[in-house]
Amino acid sequence: MTVQRQALIWLGAILALVVCLWLFEHILLPFIVGFAAAYFLDPLADRLENWGLSRLAATALITLALILVLVATVLLVVPVLYNQSMALVEALPALIREARGFMLDMTRGRLAHLLGQRSSDVQAAMTDATGGLLNWVVSLASSIWSQGLALVSILSLVVVAPVIAFYMLLDWDRMVAQVNKLLPRDHADTVRQIAIEMNMVLAGFVRGQGTLCLFLGIFYAIGLSIVGLKFGLVIGVVAGILSFIPYMGTISGLATAITIAFFQFTGDYLQIGLVAAVFAVGNFIEGNFLAPKLVGDKVRLHPVWIMFALFAFGELFGFVGLLLALPLAAIMGVLVRFAVNRYLQSTLYLGITRDHSPENYDLPESAGKL
């Protein structure tokens, strides 16, 4: 089979996958969650097998533990989180009005003089801007709800996703072995090497960054609640979730917390400083202890590429695209590095008029490190 024919087959397979994602995006959420849970927990199941348990017993034990944790979370944390979220939504217009009033007081006369406009015109412009901000926040929240929880009922996530995770975790090793048997014989070693690198990147990011998000969410939620910040629990949890994107969780959580603290603890700079200290300590622990241990240098994904992937796949496939963005970005990064390495060894790069033996031609040190 020619290279061109092979390329067409692979291109057709990728196109078919994209079409399937587009057609079935409304029902994929519990399957993606179940698959991600199985991938995340497979190393734990392997370790339990090494301790003498069967795969079925290991899977059942992990599933039982997750169910207990889920029930405890629903009973203890979800009600408080829901109440704080609703209170934050209700308080948001008042916070924006207070921020607008503060900005008007601070800039009264000065901003108008600087812009060469009347003070009333500046105040009207700021009123329109804050009103537009409020409308944007409300529309964003409704969009997230409509694209996320409205696509698949909560019941499917609570019931279907754990069942899918159980069966996929139970059959994970057999599925990997079966895929390995189906690899093209001429390219099996190359495909295996690419798959190993993909697994390293995904494991480093999904498992490592996922564990990091869990720690940061708990740390920020408890820390902000201890210092007495209103809505501290929901801000901490959201900051932990957004930490899946490097720097995004800390920056957004800190900005939100400081803004609320500024109006809640007006003039009490010690309390405001304590709120900032919670994020400073969390960021210090993350950068110096957890990230090097859990993620290390295996990820090799640039933050800009991560953000682009989130926007691109979110635009194409909605909420499901957001869930798939980071794994697909990691896989694409591996494939791009593989293609660059092949290009640097090809006659297209080296030319056809010289000796290309390793002793006569040194590849750039940056080869394969993009």
Where are the domains positioned within the chain?
30-176
First CA to last CA distance, the chain: 31
Instruction: Report, in this order, helix, strand and coil percent for the chain, each rounded to 5.
Output: 80, 0, 20
Place of tokens 């812009």: 115
Sign (positive or negative) of CA dihedral 204, 209, 215, 216:
positive
Q: What is the pLDDT along the chain (370 residues), one digit of tens a residue?
A: 566 777 787 788 888 887 887 787 777 778 888 888 888 889 899 999 999 999 999 999 998 998 888 788 777 776 777 777 777 777 767 766 666 666 556 555 554 455 444 545 545 555 555 555 555 555 545 554 454 444 445 556 667 888 888 999 999 989 988 988 888 887 788 888 888 888 888 777 777 778 888 899 999 999 999 999 888 888 898 888 888 776 778 888 898 888 888 888 877 889 989 999 999 999 899 888 887 777 666 666 677 777 788 788 878 777 677 777 777 888 888 888 888 888 888 888 887 655 555 555 455 554 444 4
Give me the phi and psi of 247, to 5 degrees please. 75, -20
Task: Quickly count helices (H) and strands (E) in the chain.
Answer: 17, 0
Please name which of 217, 179, 185 lies closest in space to residue 199, comparing C-alpha atoms.
179
- Whether residue 34 contacts residue 63, with contact meaning beta carbons closer than 8 Å, is answered with no
- Whether residue 216 contacts residue 185, with contact meaning beta carbons closer than 8 Å, is answered with no
Q: DSSP letters along 30-42, please?
A: HHHHHHHHHHHHH
- What does the buried/exposed string (b/e) look like for 133-153 if buried means 16 or more CB atoms within 10 Å of the residue's CB? ebeeeeeeeeeeeebeeebbe
Please name which of 102, 90, 99, 97 lies closest in space to residue 234, comparing C-alpha atoms.
90
Distance CA 369, CA 338 (A): 10
CB atoms within 10 A of CB 58: 22
- The one-letter amino acid at 301: L
Please name which of 68, 52, 69, 62 lies closest in space to residue 165, comparing C-alpha atoms.
62
Distance CA 251, CA 76 (A): 28
**Taking each helix axis from N to C terminus, what angle separates 3-23 and 303-344, rounded to the nearest 10 degrees?**
160
Please name which of 15, 36, 34, 313 lies closest in space to residue 152, comparing C-alpha atoms.
34
pTM score above 0.85 = no
